[in-house]
Structure 1
Amino acid sequence: MSFLLYLLVALHVIVSLFLIGVVLLQTGKSADLAGAFGGQGSQTAFGPRGAANVLTKLTAYSTVIFMILSFSLTIMFSRTSSRDHSVLSGTPTQQSAPASKK
């Protein structure tokens, strides 16, 4: 069980870094120099709209994978953790000395 948990955590980190990269690679609508003057020509490898479609699909797929991994890791961590879910569980109790009467 712990091997699967470590594998999912590693996959989650990889997918999150990939998602960050894909989102940062996306540009706004008509963000290149040709778009500033109203031209439709672009010097990109995918054409003016091809890169946006590929990056949009990669973003959507990686987001779905990220969410599924997040839910599954939450469920797995809650099952493997101790049954007592208190914040103060495991802390030593401190007993105070009885007050002296004068």
Structure 2
Amino acid sequence: MNWLHSAVVIIHLLIAAAIVALVLLQRGKGADAGAGFGAGASGTVFGARGSASFLSRTTATLAALFIATSLGLAYMGGRAPAAPKSVIDRVNLQDKAPELPATTPAAPPATGQTTDNQAVEKSSEPAPQPAPSEPPKQ
């Protein structure tokens, strides 16, 4: 894993944690009913309009960043692995190298045919001498 991939994973996790925190901080739609009974001043920390606009904008921005980092990680994960950087990685790659296929012996020749090896063997044998059919004349 290269340094860029590690950095994007860390940013991705921080954004995810921030989104969870912001969603938990936000009030639901039913929380406005309490404002009529004296709880109206509780939303003045973030301004006159309350926390809804600030927290919802921040949540939307973090959600967009979360999607961007998700797409970036998907792209980086789909690419081919980089070249080995250490000696141990090179050794591991050599162990995984495919073995060469074993050579298969040639098929035996058909009847009546000779191979090169058989022709050499036959030529090394002495040629048979023809038997004299007639006695020599004197």
Bin for the TM-score computed over the shorter chain: 0.5 to 0.7
Answer yes or no: is the 8 Å Cα contact 1:40–1:48 preserved in 2. no
Give the drift of 1:51.
0.5
Q: Tell me the equivalent position of 1:2.
A: 2
Asked if residue 63 in structure 1 is aligned to residue 68 in structure 2, the reply is no
Runs of 4+ in 1 over 6 A off after TM superposition: none
Q: Tell me the equivalent position of 1:16.
A: 16
Aligned residues: 82
Q: Tell me the equivalent position of 1:54.
A: 54
Counterparts of 1:77-88 in structure 2, within 5 Å, are: 77-81=77-81
Using the alignment, how far apart are the partners of 2:14 and 2:42 within structure 1?
30
Using the alignment, how far apart are the partners of 1:80 and 1:19 within structure 2?
32
Q: Deviations over 1:33-82 (max 9, x none)?
A: 733x4668222312563201000001100000000000010010110459
Q: Tell me the equivalent position of 2:34.
A: 34
Unaligned stretches of 5+ residues in structure 2: 83-95, 97-138
CA RMSD, 1 decimal: 2.8
Residues 13 and 22 (structure 1), Cα distance of their counterparts in 2 relative to 1, 3 Å cut: same
TM-score after normalising by structure 2: 0.50
Segment drifting more, 17-26 vs 46-55:
46-55
| Residue identity opposite 1:41 in structure 2 | G
